[in-house]
Amino acid sequence: MLRRVVSAVVLVALAIALLVGTWPQLFGVERAPFVAQFVSLRGLAIAISAVAIVALFLLAMLSRTFRRFGSSLALVLLVFALAGVAILSTRGFGNGSFETKGTSDITVVEWNSLGGAPGAAAIAKLAIDNDAQIVSLPETTEDVADAVALAMTNAGHPTIPHTIAFNHIARAKSTSVLVSTSLGGYHVDASAGTTSTVPTVVLRPDTGDGPLIVAVHAVAPDPSQLALWKSDLAFLKTACTEPNVIMAGDFNSTLDHYPGLANSAGASSSTDTIGNCADAAQATKNAAVGTWPALLPALLGAPIDHVMTTSNWRVSGMRVVQNLDGAGSDHRPIVVQLSPSR
């Protein structure tokens, strides 16, 4: 009798925990400790569940006393895995199609370079090959950004680098962004503020024309830094309140973390993700493709690198670059093409 009671308690507790992990928004705990980390890796959790289901069924077949409990555990995990697959399928397992690039279109390349580990030549080649006008490079120092800009300029893509560094010792404390001269002059808007632990760069056009560019790096949601992570996401909400904004970078968060961060008064509040900005991956069915860590298959990783824009931009192409996994960074780059929507 006691064994049945214990089994029932375990099953109920597991079912509740997995329900929270499946849809934390239902309980308003998507940014709570442990839940925030767990929900980031939906694909990996599904894969682990699948392995556990097989193991439980095998054990249930071999042990008569374990059969009922093991089968029940497997059933709970199966429901969790199927629900996870359904959620990820609505977000999209990858769509790399691009429309023909127009003269008014902007290509954005984003890559957390892990301190410039791939090297300036590799970063520049990615940007040049994709005809990028904006290159957002979290964890990239000024010297690397300068070298990338020089290589791009020498290849016929004149580009100006901008860097903010919280210190010059830890390379992760730098964020750089490169802007094509075809977009006009830009300067760092120091009055806009930045994120808490690793910098976010806010660039404003010199003439008032062109988009506000935000090169994002939010701190990771480690339990010891969870309050700072939440404040970084709140800062990003305020960073996208103007009518013409492009945000690109390492947000250290996925779509599951953003409920309540959209501005209800935004021009497209039904589709906004943070502030008045909507996520390019979600718009193009790429939002289940992981960008970190690069050592995991893309569908098992966390999609924490994003490009987000206000409604005056339409996403006309996106892909998560998967042929540079061995280049040195622990993140995959993303390439997004934006077209004016009006």
Give residue 286's pLDDT: 98
Give residue 266's pLDDT: 45
Give residue 265's pLDDT: 52
Give residue 267's pLDDT: 43
Give residue 264's pLDDT: 67
SS3 assignment for the chain: CHHHHHHHHHHHHHHHHHHHHHCHHHCCCCCCCCHHHHHHCHHHHHHHHHHHHHHHHHHHHHCHHHHHHHHHHHHHHHHHHHHHHHHHHHHCCCCCCECCCCCCCEEEEECCCCCCCCCHHHHHHHHHHCCCCEEEEECCCHHHHHHHHHHHHHCCCCEEEEEEECCCCCHHHEEEEEEEHHHCCEEECHHHCCCCCCCCEEEEECCCCCCEEEEEECCCCCHHHHHHHHHHHHHHHHHCCCCCEEEEEECCCCHHHCCCCECCCCCCCCCCCEECEEEHHHHCCCCCCCCECCCCCHHHCECCEEEEECCCEEEEEEEECCCCCCCCCCCCCEEEEEEECC
- Report residues of the chain scoring pLDDT below 50: 266-269
Give residue 210's pLDDT: 93
For the entire predicted model, the pTM comes to: 0.94
pLDDT in tens, 218-251: 999 999 999 999 999 999 999 999 999 999 999 9
Give residue 208's pLDDT: 79
Give residue 313's pLDDT: 97
Domain ranges of the chain: 2-91, 106-340
Give residue 268's pLDDT: 45
Superfamily designation of domain 106-340? Endonuclease/exonuclease/phosphatase (3.60.10.10)
